[in-house]
Each structure stands twice: as structure tokens, then as C-alpha cells.
Amino acid sequence: MMKTERIKNYWKQATEDWNYIFTKELKTIFRDGGVLIFFFLVPLAYPLLYSFIYTDEVVRDVPIAVVDADGSTTSRLYLRHLDATPDVHIVSYCADMHEAENLVRRRDAYGIVYIPESFTADLTAGRQTHVSAFSDMSGLLYYKSVLLANTNVSLDMNAKIKVERAGSSTDEETKVVEHPIAYEEVNLYNPAAGFASFLIPAVLVLIIQQTLLLGVGMITGTARENNLFRHPVPIDRHYTGLLRIVFGKAMAYLMIYLPISVYVLGVVPHLFRLNQLGAPSTLGLFAIPLLLACIFFAMTVGGLMRRRETCILLIVFSSVPLLFISGISWPGASISPFWRYVSWLFPSTFGINGFVKINNMGARLIDVRPEWDALWAQAIVYFLAACLVYRNDILGARRRFAARLDALRHKTC
């Protein structure tokens, strides 16, 4: 009977502690303007900003300059077909390459197409001819548009030249000569081959992790500045009080980020008509370990924040490297082993890959089991790490407070 009473009293005390910590953390969040910006304004605004920037998906009508050294009917036909493609737009017909290069230097054009003097003569004699395409490589999308437009036009003209020389008498023979092997190009999981469908899903997951890091880091830095780690919940020899502190704070962050995650991972892709092939239930089950791993990771990293502003200096710059090593902007198989192992320390790596598979490829939970398991493992490891960080902070704050009291007593005496 006494044992039952002790258990009831323990759970009653634990519940009171959780509620107290949970409520206090929510008050801290809503009273801090900087934290509100990172927890609400940034997750609400940044996904819209990124999606608006890349809403056109692909680059169209890239301005290019042309140098037609041949000046024949055939070369002009090539250029007319080139200008008619949706990828490039001819803005200048230059007399020589020097003039065209100056346009590229001034950014009036982002590519150059050079047709040699022997263009028509080579075709007439049955020899292979060449068209040179130059592109401003400061933006890979310019290169893609210039190359794609020239490739399509050259293939189309090649097919017509073969038909003319074959002298086909029927439509079927013409079709066989023009395209001996019929093929159909299908862009899996990104039908428009668009930049937004490729990049935005990764950015959305990264926004959740980075805003949590910034917000929690700012809260932790403020607590250290004001010596607020002298918490009323005791840390006994079984560390149950410490678990209540970490768990109570984490539940406050989780309550805020559950609706934020629904908006970021569900509403934003729908607003901009990005791929959404995954089942909402699968995405919800995957988001739970993702959020827990991000929360406990943020609480652990918060141990580095000695001042309120430190988190901005340490975390903001890391967003681009984390995107690179996630295996989305650069193929994961081509990343060096060292950086691959480094990427496994961050929840964003497994979160990005799992979210892309579910949302863009329609994967089921069993298909993302490696990422799901990795996020649960990270959640457990970072939970334990956060407990150690908070234990050191709380005990350190209490020692400093006790030292100050002793100093004041000696001074009074």
C-alpha cells in the first residue's frame, strides 16, 4: 500500500514539474521577440520567399549573342529555329567573337553561338560540321538552356537533312529515316525538370532544423546571461528531475513546431503546386522523429551558446554547407566519406532524404526505414546529450550562485 502511494506521489510530482516547466518555457518563448521571429516569422515567411523566387521552375529565354560567319540561308534557318525555342532568345547578331564576348562581360547576354564559315559548304559536301556554343558558367541554368536549345535544333535539322538525302517515298519510310530508334523522355519525380521541385523540398526541412537551432540557442544564451539555470526542480541521484526539465522544454517546442511543420511540409508545397505524391499519414509519421531529433539536437547545441547572439554567428552560416552535404544539391554517392560521416551528425541529412522520397517519389514508410531509424537514433542520442548539457548548466549555475552568497556573507561579516 505504501509503495503504491509512493508511486502515485512520484507521478503527481513529476506531472506538476512537467506542467510547470512546459508552461514556463512557453512563457519564455512568447515574451522574447527574437525567439518569436525565429519560431514563427521565419518558418512562415522563408518558405514562401524561396518558393516565390523559384516559382517559374525553369529558366526561359536566356539572352544570347550569335556570330554567323557563314551568312547563308541554312545558317539563318538554324538561328531562326534556335530563337524560336523557349530556352534562349537572340538579343544581338554580332560581327565577330570580340563583340559577342563584350556583351557577355556586360551581362547583356549569357551565351554565344558561333556558326563557322564552312557551315553550309560542309553540309553540301556531306561532311560533318560544327556549331560552337559558349555559356556563362556563373549560373549552371544558363548553360543548361543554351546547350538544350542547340542540341534540340541540331537534332531536328539533322533529321531533316537525312530525310532529304534518303529520298524516301512514303511517310513510314520518312519516319524511320528521321528517327530510326523511337524514344520517349520521361523526367521521373520532376516532370517539369524544374529547379523549385528539385531544391525547395530540401530547403523546407532545413528551415525547420535551423530555426529550431536559432530559437533554442537564443533561449539558452539568454538563460546563461541572466543566470536562470537555478531551476526549482531538483536533480536527484536518479536524474529524474533532469529528465523532467529536458522533457518539459522539448514538449513546449514540439507543441509549437507541430503546426509549423504541417504548414512548411504540407501547405507550402500545395500552394506552389510542387510534387506531393506521398500519403499525409506517412509524412506525419516521418515528421515525428524528425522534429524530436531536431529539438534535442538544438537543445544539445544550445550548450555552446554562452550569449544570446552567439547562435546567429554559429548557426546561420552552416545552412548552405548542410544543404550541400545532404546529398540533394550534390549526389550523395559522390560526396567524400569524411563529409558523408559528418553529415550523419545532423538530423537535416536524413530528414531531407526521407522527405524527398516520401513527398516527391511517393515512398512508403518502409521505403524510408533507414532514414526513419536514423532519426529515432539521433533523437535518443541527442536527448541523452541534452540531459548532460542541462545537468552541467544547472549544477554550474547553482555553484556560482552559492559562491556569490558566500562572498556576500563574508563581505557582510
The series of mean pLDDT values per 10 residues for the chain, 413 residues long, is 64 75 88 90 90 81 93 92 93 92 92 92 86 87 90 87 68 64 76 80 93 90 68 50 83 94 93 88 94 94 79 81 87 87 94 93 92 96 90 66 61 61
pLDDT digits (tens, 9 = 90+) for 140-177: 788 889 999 999 999 888 878 777 776 656 666 666 66
Instruction: Please tell me whether residue 366 adopts helix, strand or coil conformation.
Output: helix
As a whole number of angstroms, the distance between CA 238 and CA 242 comes to 9
The pLDDT value recorded for residue 409 is 63
Quick one: CA torsion of 24, 25, 26, 32, rounded to 10 degrees? 110
The pLDDT value recorded for residue 278 is 87
As a whole number of angstroms, the distance between CA 115 and CA 79 comes to 9
pLDDT digits (tens, 9 = 90+) for 266-288: 999 998 888 888 899 999 999 99
Grid cell 534556335 — which residue? 82
What are the structural domain ranges in the chain?
A: 2-54+194-412, 62-178
Secondary element (H or E) of residue 85: none
As a whole number of angstroms, the distance between CA 32 and CA 311 comes to 15
Q: What is the CATH number of domain 62-178?
A: 3.40.1710
The pLDDT value recorded for residue 115 is 94
Instruction: Please tell me whether residue 31 adopts helix, strand or coil conformation.
Output: helix
At residue 132's C-alpha, the angle toward residues 131 and 134, to 5°, is 150
